[in-house]
Structure 1
Amino acid sequence: MKNTQPQSSFKKLCRKLSPERKDSAAEKRQNNRNGEDKNRDLEAVFAYMDANRDGRISADELQKSFTTLGEQLSDEEAEAAVRLSDTDGDGMLDYEEFAQLIKGDDESTEEDKTIELKEAFKMYIAEGEECITPRSLKMMLKKLGESRTTDDCRVMISAFDLNADGVLSFDEFVLMMR
């Protein structure tokens, strides 16, 4: 019996690092049912980051939240993130601005989506390589805090490897992500 756990973990991790994709009608119905849960989750993240509970997230609060989560965000990066997402010009993120930042722009073009997929794909390939290999996948998963064996990574890749060459090309990656 085939172990599907590594395959689903790989797909979930890739989707975390990639733009929204077109869902099937069944997935859209399920997503609508889960919409309220997603909104509650987003509200909880917003509340966590809104340390002073004023209904807005400052660059300082954003930076401290990242630090708490073990990530580094410079003063300049935090200020730029807020400035780019701040549509009302108050220098802070309200819930709607935060939600838009997290959800991304649903009106992005196919060209934008392809560029984003290429950027996500590049994260999984090792320098000098053109495909996702079991070794490069293992390294990326380790960076993301998920320890897998090379054999696990081979199984994950084989689930989406259409030409059975043992690696994922960009085209195979795109098909997996859509």
Structure 2
Amino acid sequence: MRINPTGEYDEVFRSFDEDGDGKISPAELRSCMRIIGDEMDLDEAEALVQSFDSDGDGLLAMEEFFRLVEFEGGVEEEKELREAFAMYEMDGQGCITPKSLKRMLSKLGTSRDLSACEVMIQRFDINGDGVLCFEEFKNMMAI
């Protein structure tokens, strides 16, 4: 799969590439991150660029930048999924039980009996233990 197939990040890349050389330096990355409200010191920017700099020139070419954007989006999505999982998990067991699912659905205004919650969990319960771990929940949310 090609990153940025619709060209949605092209304009973002150009705005980060302040000097127009077709590459984003750590200083340019830091500057643009500050504009969007995300403070980052130069060492952090250099480390981030180094992590995604596949040709070793210390700069981010367009494709490298797209990989960074996709990665950062995935990190944010993972964080949001973990927060949602914690809301459903409720019992401190590290999993979503039929009982905790029933309780959360009731809070959301969608009342289900315990057997219906068991069936909902069973559909995504890969290992058959009767509960949803985070990975199973993540699979469920991907649908």
**Taking structure 1 as the reference length, what is the TM-score of the superposition?**
0.46
| Matching residue's letter, 2:81 | F
1:66 aligns with 2:26: no
Residue 14 of structure 1 is matched in structure 2 by none
- 1:101-160 Cα offsets, whole Å, 9 max, x none, are 2335xxxxxxxx9xx98655334437995479xxxxxxxxxxxxxxxxxxxx9269x9xx
Distance in 1 between residues matched to 2:29 and 2:109, nearest whole Å: 38
Cα 1:172/1:61, change in 2 over 3 Å? same
Work out the percentage of aligned pairs sharing the same amino acid. Answer: 30
Identify the match of residue 47 of structure 1 among 6, 9, 14: 14
1:56 Cα deviation from its structure 2 partner: 0.7
Match of 2:108, as an amino acid?
R
- Indicate the SS of the match to 2:12: helix
Of 77, 81, 88, which aligns to 1:121?
A: 81
Matching residue of 1:96: 63
- 1:117·1:174 contact (CA, 8 Å) conserved in 2? no
Larger Rg: 2
2:130 aligned with 1:163? no
What's the offset of the Cα at 1:84?
Answer: 1.0
Call closer, same or farther: CA 1:123–1:172 in 2, change over 3 Å: closer
Task: Please give the alpha-carbon distance, in whole angstroms, between the structure 1 residues aligned to 2:41 and 2:70.
Answer: 22
Aligned counterpart, 1:147: none
2-structure distance, mates of 1:75, 1:46: 19
Task: Please report the RMSD computed on the Cα atoms of aligned residues, expressed in angstroms.
Answer: 4.0
Q: State the match for 2:129 in structure 1.
A: none
Question: One-letter code of the match for 1:174?
Answer: N
**Match status 1:177 vs 2:108:** no
- Gap change, CA 1:84 and 1:118, over 3 Å in 2: closer
Letter in structure 2 aligned against 1:176: M
Q: Does 1:56 align with 2:23?
A: yes
Q: Displacement, 1:53?
A: 1.1
In the alignment, structure 1 segments of 5+ residues that lack a partner are 1-33, 105-112, 133-152
How far the C-alpha of 1:93 sits from its partner, in A, is 0.5
- Asked whether the 8 Å contact 1:59–1:82 carries over to 2, the reply is yes
